[in-house]
Amino acid sequence: MLRLHTVVETKKPHPCGGKRWEIVRTGADYKIRCLTCGRVIMLTPDELLHRVRRIAEDA
Ligand SMILES: [Zn+2]
């Protein structure tokens, strides 16, 4: 479901206003990149699942 390069939409927007993120790393920790400002944040898989509203684009 949440594979590398999948684009997801979060429930809460990033402070920059962006809601779409690309998954750039998977594993024990996930890294997602804001498609609006380019900032990368690290999350645990549980945190990511809580934040995601839907899959915007499948990889
Ligand atoms: Zn951003």
- How do residues 8-55 score in pLDDT, each as one tens digit? 999 999 999 999 999 999 999 999 999 999 999 999 999 999 999 999
Distance between Cα 13 and ligand 1 center (Å) = 8
Identify which of 27, 59, 58, 57 has the alpha carbon closest to the alpha carbon of residue 45: 27
Instruction: Measure the CA–CA gap between 36 and 6, rounded to whole angstroms.
Output: 15
What's the whole-model pTM score? 0.91
Distance between Cα 39 and ligand 1 center (Å) = 6
Distance between Cα 27 and ligand 1 center (Å) = 22
Buried b (16+ CB within 10 A) or exposed e, 24-57: eebeeebbbbbbeeeeeeebeeeebeebbeeebe
